[in-house]
Amino acid sequence: MVIWYEMLFAFNRVSKVLQSNNMQINVAIAEVKGLIAWLDKFRETGFIDAIITAKEIAVALDVDPVFQEKRPIQRKIFFDESGSEPSPSSSGQESFKVHYFLYIVDQAKGSLNRRFEQYQHYDDIFRFLFTLETLNSLNDNDMKIACIHLETVLRHGESSDVDGEYLFRELKLLWEILPKQRMTTIDILNFLQERNTCPVVRLAYRILLIVHVTVASAERSFSKLKLLKSYLRSTMSQERLNGFALISIENEYLEKINCDKLIDQFAGPPKSLRRLCHPVLLSIILGL
């Protein structure tokens, strides 16, 4: 229990951080990398610390803090086998460490390494765009290579979402106009959108920011669907369900929209019809 408490406490902290709505891929990479480093340290020293804590709890509960040892199984030696003595069995504490503690730590680290390999793939592609410090740390040659690599990754057939040469030139200009302070990816994108400049860089940052860090958003969406599609709404069409789900999931954006203006636009005729129709006909159409 002491071992599981230490591990689950560390994993729970990182899991909550990764599930935040504004989580970014570079922060997720740093969190997972730190958790892997903690597991390496815990594998070396965690067992001894857990033994000390467990013995203190056992003494407080009036329990004998001794590992139970299994009776060694004596195997019969046949006449054609060598008569060497069997190797002595390990102690109960050593057996518990090998077959329980090291096993669960290695399993947890293996799962994290597989997740980190996926993050590392995105890190190799978008690392130069993560923060202003990483952008400043590259020379012109390395930055140009990174821009061309991003263009190659985003290429589909003969077209690509980002032009590497234009991206390189805009990033050199961006470094001169950005404020010299600590800025994350979302801060840089907001800065560019406010000034409506560097369209290729804006597109690259938009692609970076829509990379999914976890599946928490998808899980929240499915949980929301369970609330919407109840047994009282069993005959709801798919189109209406999609509309309700979008409104419920993006309710923060919905609160910022002026619904009266949308109703007026929906009720009014198209601009082309408004130009062609006589005022009397328009009043009849709107009345209908």
Q: Stretch 214-229: mean pLDDT, rounded? A: 69
Mean pLDDT of 93-119: 85
Indicate the angle between helix axes 164-177 and 140-153, nearest 10 degrees: 130
pLDDT of residue 187: 83
Mean pLDDT of all residues in 67-93: 64
What is the mean predicted confidence (pLDDT) over 97-105?
Answer: 89
Cα 168 to Cα 201: distance, rounded to the nearest angstrom:
9
pLDDT at 273 over 60: no
- The least confident of 22-31, 70-79, 104-113, 258-267 is 70-79
* Mean model confidence pLDDT for the chain: 78
Average pLDDT of the residues in 74-95:
65
Average pLDDT of the residues in 205-234: 73
pLDDT per residue as tens digits for the range 139-155: 888 888 888 888 888 88
pLDDT of residue 5: 92
| pLDDT, mean of residues 52-63 | 88
CA gap 147, 155 in Å, rounded: 12
Q: Does the pLDDT at position 220 exceed 80?
A: no
Return the structure tokens found at 259.
């619904």
Give the number of other Cβ atoms within 10 Å of residue 182's Cβ: 9
Distance CA(15)–CA(150), nearest Å, equals 29
Please count the other Cβ atoms lying within 10 Å of the Cβ belonging to residue 188.
23
> How far apart are the C-alpha atoms of 267 and 285, rounded to whole Å?
10
Q: What is the pLDDT of residue 38?
A: 93
The Cα-based distances of 282 to 4, 103, 263, 270 in angstroms read 72, 77, 17, 11
Strand, coil or helix: 81: coil
DSSP bridge partners of 235: none
User: 67 pLDDT exceeds 80?
Assistant: no
The least confident of 8-22, 73-87, 191-205 is 73-87
Sign of CA dihedral 102, 108, 111, 114: negative
Work out the pLDDT band at 79, boundaries 50, 70, 90.
low
Quote the CA–CA distance of 267 and 287 in Å, as a whole number.
10
